[in-house]
Amino acid sequence: MTDTATATATATATDTDTDTDTKTLTGGITATEIVYAYAVLRRTPEAVAAVADLHGIAGEPIHLLDSADRASELAVAVGPVPAADFDEAPLKSNLEDLSWLESTARGHHTVVAVLARCGATVLPLRLATVYRDQDRVRQALDARRDDFLSLLDRVTGHVELGVKIYASPDTAPSGPVRDPDRAPAARVLAAGVGAGRAYLAGRRRKRQSAEDAWQAATQAAARLTETAGGLAVDRVAHRPQRADLAGPVPGTNVSNDAYLVAADRVDDFRTRVLAAAEGLPGVRVELTGPWAPYSFAIPPEPVL
């Protein structure tokens, strides 16, 4: 997820150049609705059965929209959502509402997870990928047909695992005193130095401790990344999470990576990465997943 239902992407692809004054748009979508696209997959009997009673982020029924090239069996899981929430202007506002964003991401992930549990290989699309009508979805799908088919072949039999590494000064060992200014406050006072200098010395020690912990964590992150990379097919380095989004884990997130791992090697990956993290000073490691391959599902160019 992006990582959470942790996987919360914020990229948006809204198609707005179609007149919506008509009562009904292409594919049975009304003027008050637009099409939300959840994931690309191959149409299989299991996938068809999975969407039969599946509902999306707005409570809408989900269905599979086929590629124009039926022989490819390529399809997109889509559903009609209210334009009042997902048209360009309201969507831009909603994406700044963390409560709305969290609820929408959870619903998006639920649809993707149901499809994945049925045994389908899915390519999750970015959160809030919407189109004016179904013809536009099909056109976008067909324009990147070869890319999607190649990606589906690549991620089949694999899942995404997340590895987050945190610098935690509270777990870092105390280093040796490096100079008189960093001596314990009691020694400074005993030497007749004023309380003000003792305070400044304490601030310097605290700052140095944080810097030492950060350096230890980044060095540990490099070693853990090498270990994890050797157990995975691919890796994507995401931007470290801000403190207000990182959850209850203490410390500063210094590394936030996603790994594409063979489904039958998940337990081995977890065991070996956690073993490599044991005993590393000033470091905490969090593993998440398995997820559908969110970080490996989109070609480098904008897709939809």
More confident residue, 65 or 71: 65
Output the six-digit token pair for 252: 């500063």
Judged against a pLDDT cut of 70, whether residue 208 lies above it is answered with no
Do 138 and 243 reside in the same domain of the chain?
A: no
Whether 106 and 166 share a structural domain: no
Whether residues 102 and 238 fall in one domain: no
pLDDT over 60 at 13, yes or no: no
Most confident of 76-80, 144-148, 163-167: 76-80
Torsions phi, psi of 86, nearest 5?
A: -120, 0
Angstrom distance (rounded) from CA 269 to CA 145: 32
Answer yes or no: do 171 and 140 share one domain. Answer: no
Q: Are 152 and 63 in a shared domain?
A: yes
- Predicted local confidence at residue 298, as pLDDT: 78
7-16, 79-88, 188-197, 223-232: which range is least confident on average?
Answer: 7-16
For the cut 80, the answer to whether the pLDDT of residue 255 exceeds it is: yes
Average pLDDT over residues 60-88: 92
Mean pLDDT of 21-36: 60
pLDDT tens-digit series, residues 48-65? 999 999 999 999 999 999
Residue 199 belongs to a domain: no
CATH classification of the domain holding 169: 3.30.70.1710
Token couple for 285: 């490691």
Same domain, residue pair 9 and 149:
yes
The segment with the largest mean pLDDT, out of 7-21, 86-100, 168-182, 247-261, is 86-100
pLDDT score at 283: 80
Q: Are residues 40 and 77 in the same domain?
A: yes
| Percentage of residues of the chain with pLDDT beyond 70 | 72
146 and 10 in a common domain: yes
Of 122, 156, 190, the residue at which a domain comes to its end is: 156
Confidence of residue 170 (pLDDT cuts 50, 70, 90): low
Question: Using an 8 Å Cβ cutoff, are 4 and 103 in contact?
Answer: no
Name which residue leads in pLDDT, 299 or 261.
261
Query: In this structure, are 166 and 126 located in the same domain?
Result: no
List pLDDT tens digits, range 287-297.
999 999 999 99
**Which residues constitute the domain of residue 31?**
2-156
Among 29-43, 71-85, 214-228, top mean pLDDT goes to 71-85
Cβ-based neighbours of 124, under 8 Å, separated by 6 or more: 7, 38, 39, 108, 112, 292, 293, 294, 297
Average per-residue pLDDT in the chain?
A: 79
From residue 177, alpha-carbon distances to 181, 182, 183 in Å are 9, 6, 6
